[in-house]
């Protein structure tokens, strides 16, 4: 029987599953390859590689020799041995195996992707396409290779990832679980030589998996990993560990084997007794009397400890391996019946390594959900209802890579944790990596100048946050101020008020809400000096011909333009202003004077409706007495459309500051 635990840490991808379908019936079952074919079919890749190599030396028929070379390459690909994989794929192609079996080119591309050799991968995907392979698959793979190459050159996220060298070995190290609420103690699975498991695993050629523990000192340095005691570690495989909410019990996967058989994996648990563990007992998540073959593993509790999540290939799922959960009653120490996570989570591929972020988001790995290649880590936000989740999204590089990435866990209430990856540059076959999401840093820098002269102004600024935090600042001699020492927080909106005596105060707003990158908000403020009874231009406040209503069309929104003046009035509470409206030259003088008065009053009414005191506003109509574009200039224009624009420029509103000593009630 295929060893379920081993299947979790060897290279199992969608391509592999498709390949099994494609070549499963092609096993010739010759005397030379019968044992190799059987070993490969049950996932014994180390044994299959050795047996195929023996058969390769004996077989003379070219088609069968090509198939054997391909199967040797496949065995080594599953064992994550890129050098041997390439050597035997090359032999298969040299024996013309690809002429009838284009999957050799496809899987060669996958092997290159796993090593982040993206240009080589694209060449092999193109060869797959040119030799009769599925066009849509080839195109999808080529696009993915281009995207992955770009992600390495320009990482799309601020995650920081580091190899945990002190924890890793040259073997398989994976499936970590924090064993303390501080995230400074960890238990993980490893096939290193110091494992208790005796003998040679036919799948990997290494020792059987055991669980190891390590802890950090005050400087963050991990101790040398030590195996758990023999109530946990046995001669069989142990892996994929988690702890309950209080860190009083450990849960893990165990896959029992003997010399001839591998039995279905189950979840086990044991009491935590300091640095040691009590006797392990099986957690009966499915009825073994009715089902003795379905695999069960990868336990993980939800944040509230009300549900235990796990992985199984039991009937009723959506693909090979699905995520399931059972309710857990801590008072009765009882588990409910298995429930499938459903189609928002599970696919026709494999979903494995569930875990839960501190905020209730579901984290898991999948081969059937897209991503960068192999197993990728996905995260799904909580949906409506208990244990319901929205459609999952692949986590960005450098969490995901073109290799296998899985077993991601978060420390309690923190954006940091540990995951497993087979990416190039590691210490072993699968390595443990730490990840963290550094806090974003925001900076606000501003300069204030005189609008007309450009001279810096030592203005006063007030910066106020929507979630608290307010600063009263004075610009220096260069007109500069800054808030760059972590004062500006994430998910916050800030209002800025800029004042300088004798000038029209201004300001603006900036926000860190929704930001995903550290950002500096740079602002320049140009203040206009207050000059009484001088005309100040403002954004266009226009009117249709022969109308007093504000013009709002695809080109101009006059109400938005008036908000400019509204902002000035709110920031400069002592101003009394005069709004002046104008018409074009068409129509009689007295009619235009009345029309312009109505237009000015329309503006006053708008500002009053927005909360400005009416005694701070004066409406004055100027008629056609102050044309910006004269009649003679209009008449010289070539088209009626241009002439209308000339007339439109005359239909405007401006303002003057009459006083700056206004006080309410006076």
Q: What is the pTM of this model?
A: 0.68
Helix/strand number for the chain, H first, E second: 13, 33
Cα(114)–Cα(422) distance, integer angstroms: 8
Confidence of residue 254 (pLDDT cuts 50, 70, 90): very high
Highest mean pLDDT among 199-213, 228-242, 360-374: 228-242
Confidence of residue 147 (pLDDT cuts 50, 70, 90): confident
Q: Could you say which DSSP state residue 512 is in?
A: -
pLDDT in tens, 4-23: 344 433 333 333 332 332 33
Confidence of residue 32 (pLDDT cuts 50, 70, 90): confident
Q: What is the pLDDT of residue 1?
A: 27
Supply the Cα-derived Rg of the chain in whole angstroms. Answer: 36
Q: For the chain, what are the domain ranges?
A: 4-153, 160-436, 442-527, 535-659
DSSP per position, 51-98 = HHHHHHHH---HHHHHHHHHHHHHHHHHTT-HHHHHHHHHHHHHTTGG
Confidence of residue 666 (pLDDT cuts 50, 70, 90): low
Q: What is the pLDDT of residue 260?
A: 58
CATH fold of 4-153, please? 1.25.40
Lowest average pLDDT, out of 19-28, 220-229, 621-630, goes to 19-28
DSSP per position, 384-439 = SSTT-BPPPEEPPTTTS-SS-EEEEEEPTTSSEEEEEE--TT-SSSBEEEEEE-PP
Class of domain 442-527 as given by CATH: mainly beta
pLDDT in tens, 460-512: 999 999 998 899 999 999 999 999 999 999 999 999 999 999 999 999 999 99
Confidence of residue 211 (pLDDT cuts 50, 70, 90): very high
CATH fold of 160-436, please? Neuraminidase (2.120.10)
Q: What is the pLDDT of residue 201?
A: 58
Q: What is the pLDDT of residue 492?
A: 95
CATH of span 535-659: 3.30.1330.60
pLDDT in tens, 289-309: 898 889 999 999 999 999 999
């Amino acid at each position: 029987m295929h060893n379920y635990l081993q299947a979790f840490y060897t290279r199992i991808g969608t391509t592999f599953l498709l390949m099994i379908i494609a070549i499963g019936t092609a096993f010739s079952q010759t005397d030379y390859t019968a044992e190799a074919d059987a070993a490969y079919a049950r996932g014994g890749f180390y044994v299959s590689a050795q047996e195929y190599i023996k058969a390769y030396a004996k077989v003379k028929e070219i088609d069968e020799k090509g198939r054997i070379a391909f199967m040797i390459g496949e065995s080594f690909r599953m064992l994550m041995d890129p050098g041997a994989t390439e050597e035997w794929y090359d032999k298969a192609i040299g024996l013309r195996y690809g002429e009838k079996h284009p999957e050799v080119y496809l899987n060669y591309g996958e092997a290159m992707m796993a090593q982040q050799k993206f240009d080589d991968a694209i060449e092999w995907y193109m060869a797959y396409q040119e030799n009769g392979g599925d066009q849509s698959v080839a195109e999808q793979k080529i696009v993915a290779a281009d995207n992955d190459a770009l992600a390495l050159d320009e990482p799309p996220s601020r995650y920081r990832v580091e190899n945990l060298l002190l924890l890793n070995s040259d073997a398989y190290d994976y499936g970590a679980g924090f064993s303390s609420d501080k995230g400074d103690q960890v238990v993980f699975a490893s096939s290193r030589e110091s494992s208790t498991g005796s003998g040679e695993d036919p799948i990997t050629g290494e020792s059987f998996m055991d669980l190891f523990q390590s802890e950090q000192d005050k400087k963050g340095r991990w101790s040398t990993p030590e195996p758990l005691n023999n109530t946990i570690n046995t001669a069989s495989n142990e892996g994929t560990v988690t702890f309950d909410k209080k860190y009083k019990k450990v849960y893990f996967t165990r896959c029992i084997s003997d010399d001839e058989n591998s039995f279905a994996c189950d979840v086990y648990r044991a009491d935590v007794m300091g640095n040691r563990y009590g006797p392990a007992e099986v957690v009966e998540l499915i009825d073994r009397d009715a089902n003795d073959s379905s695999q069960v593993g990868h336990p993980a509790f939800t944040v509230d400890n009300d549900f235990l999540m796990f992985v199984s290939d039991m009937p009723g799922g959506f693909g090979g391996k699905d995520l399931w959960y059972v309710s857990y009653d801590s008072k009765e120490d009882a588990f409910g019946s298995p429930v499938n996570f459903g189609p928002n989570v599970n696919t026709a591929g494999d979903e494995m390594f569930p875990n839960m972020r501190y905020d209730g988001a579901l984290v898991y790995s999948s081969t059937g959900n897209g991503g960068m290649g192999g197993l990728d880590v996905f995260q799904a936000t909580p949906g409506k209802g208990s244990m319901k989740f929205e459609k999952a999204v692949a986590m960005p590089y450098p969490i995901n890579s073109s290799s296998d990435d899985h077993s991601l866990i978060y420390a309690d209430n923190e954006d940091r944790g540990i995951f497993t990856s087979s990416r190039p540059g590691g210490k072993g076959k699968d390595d443990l990596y730490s990840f963290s999401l550094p806090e974003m840093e925001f900076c606000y820098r501003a300069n204030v100048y005189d609008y007309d002269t450009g001279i810096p102004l030592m203005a006063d600024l007030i910066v106020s946050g929507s979630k608290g935090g307010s600063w009263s600042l004075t610009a220096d001699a260069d007109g500069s101020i800054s808030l760059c020492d972590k004062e500006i927080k994430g998910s916050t909106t800030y209002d800025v008020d800029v004042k300088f005596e004798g000038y029209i105060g201004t300001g603006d707003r900036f926000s860190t809400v929704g930001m995903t990158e550290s950002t500096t908000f740079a602002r320049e403020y140009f203040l206009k000096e207050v000059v009484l009874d001088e005309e100040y231009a403002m954004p266009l406040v226009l009117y249709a011909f022969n109308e007093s209503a504000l013009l709002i069309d695809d080109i101009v929104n006059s109400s938005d333009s008036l908000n400019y003046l509204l902002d000035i009035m709110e920031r400069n509470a002592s101003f009394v202003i005069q709004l002046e409206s104008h018409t074009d030259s068409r129509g009689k003088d007295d009619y235009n004077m009345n029309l312009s008065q109505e237009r000015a009053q329309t503006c006053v009414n708008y500002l009053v409706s927005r909360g400005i005191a009416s005694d701070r506003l004066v409406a004055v109509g100027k008629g056609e007495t102050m044309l910006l574009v004269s009649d003679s200039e209009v008449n010289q224009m070539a088209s009626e459309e241009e002439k209308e624009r000339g007339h439109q420029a005359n239909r405007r509103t401006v303002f003057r500051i009459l006083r700056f000593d206004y006080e309410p009630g006076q």
